[in-house]
Amino acid sequence: MKFGIIGTGIVGTALAVRLVEAGHECIGVHTRSRHSYERFCSYLEIDHLTLEELVAAVDLLFITTQDGVIRSIAEQLSESVLLKSTQVWIHCSGSLPSKILRVKESLPVGCLSLHPLQAFASVEEALTILTGTHFGIEGDNLEFGEKIVEDLGGIPHMILADKKTLYHAGAVVASNYLVVLAALAVELYAEAGISGEEALASLLPLMRGTLYNLEQVGLPKALTGPIARGDVQVIQGHLEHLPPKLIEIYQGLGLKALELGKNKKAQQGLSFPPEEYKRLKYLLEGGEQHEKDFANS
């Protein structure tokens, strides 16, 4: 296929390189950033074209810009008198549906969204880990989207367009909030006397071990720790010593851990002793704190 790229950032550059390696022809690119274009040309020497020139020349058009300008670019493209009816437009946003590209009901092109479920810090890193990256796909002609993902070396997954926001929220929880959890753990270690880089260095092997367990045994078996064991006293001690601003976060996560722990025991043919489970749930729902607040009021 002949394809073009609008937006030559990390994702756009990596996709172009892999598609060329798969035998497709990159006709041209369009970007507002001279820096990103120069970086792109260090990987592929491709002409910079206007939007009008691109839309007239390609079979496949990738819009790999920031989410906020995808719609406006689609609007500009839709005004071209040189549109091909067989053309396919693809954006790579994880939160926006493919239909954002269909600015007119009469638009004769196919619209797809292919979202790489990965955090790319640089073009080199993206090229290294793109093979094996999972992609969320939705839009027109899903089989075509699946073929593109396979050409990129990725693993395709069809997602529901009207639930895409939840798909993206799941990715945020798994990636961004993992960093947040690390920050919270470092904060607690600082309270215990281990601070800064030393705290993070001591926690990372534990986090890697947990990720390894997830890969090996999955959910809910990878859950370990006091809630999985039903250790009420340990959880009560945590809640008594946690900084007040972290209690609610701990309790919310703990309730989810309790649900996973219950499922883990069920898979093993076991269950929490009723009083133990009731007490854990009470603590994590803030019952004891509510009693203290009421007594002090």
Q: What is the CATH number of the domain that holds 18?
A: 3.40.50.720
Largest Cα–Cα distance in the chain?
74
Same domain, 150 and 11: yes
pTM to 2 decimal places: 0.85
Asked, for residue 73, whether it belongs to a domain, the answer is yes
Same domain, 107 and 248: no
Tokens of residue 188, six digits: 């607690």
pLDDT tens-digit map of 196-244? 899 999 999 999 999 999 999 999 999 999 999 999 999 999 999 999 9
In the listed set 139, 159, 179, which residue is the last one of a domain according to the structure?
159
Same domain, 284 and 198: yes
Asked, for residue 37, whether it belongs to a domain, the answer is yes
Same domain, 92 and 33: yes
Percent of the chain with pLDDT over 90: 89
The pLDDT score that the predictor gives to residue 296 is 52
Number of domain units in the chain = 2
What gap in Å lies between CA 246 and CA 266, rounded to an integer? 30
Percent of the chain with pLDDT over 70: 97
Same domain, 8 and 153: yes
Question: In this structure, are residues 153 and 131 in contact, taking their beta carbons and an 8 Å threshold?
Answer: yes
The pLDDT score that the predictor gives to residue 290 is 52
Same domain, 99 and 17: yes
Residue 176 has pLDDT above 70, yes or no: yes
Same domain, 243 and 272: yes
Same domain, 63 and 131: yes
The pLDDT score that the predictor gives to residue 289 is 62
Same domain, 256 and 111: no
Least confident window among 12-26, 30-44, 278-292: 278-292
What backbone phi and psi angles, to 5 degrees, belong to 111?
-125, 125
**Sequential DSSP letters for 235-282:** HHHHHHHS-HHHHHHHHHHHHHHHHHHHHHHHHTT----HHHHHHHHH
Asked, for residue 75, whether it belongs to a domain, the answer is yes
Asked, for residue 237, whether it belongs to a domain, the answer is yes
Range of the domain at 219: 166-292
Same domain, 151 and 19: yes
In the listed set 133, 159, 185, which residue is the last one of a domain according to the structure?
159
Asked, for residue 297, whether it belongs to a domain, the answer is no
Residue 8 has pLDDT above 60, yes or no: yes
Residue 134 has pLDDT above 60, yes or no: yes
In the listed set 104, 127, 159, which residue is the last one of a domain according to the structure?
159
Asked, for residue 77, whether it belongs to a domain, the answer is yes
Residue spans of beta strands (DSSP E) within the chain:
2-6, 25-30, 60-63, 88-91, 110-116, 134-139, 155-158
Same domain, 77 and 152: yes
**Per-residue confidence at 297, pLDDT binned at 50, 70, 90?**
very low
Same domain, 205 and 139: no
What gap in Å lies between CA 83 and CA 57, rounded to an integer? 9
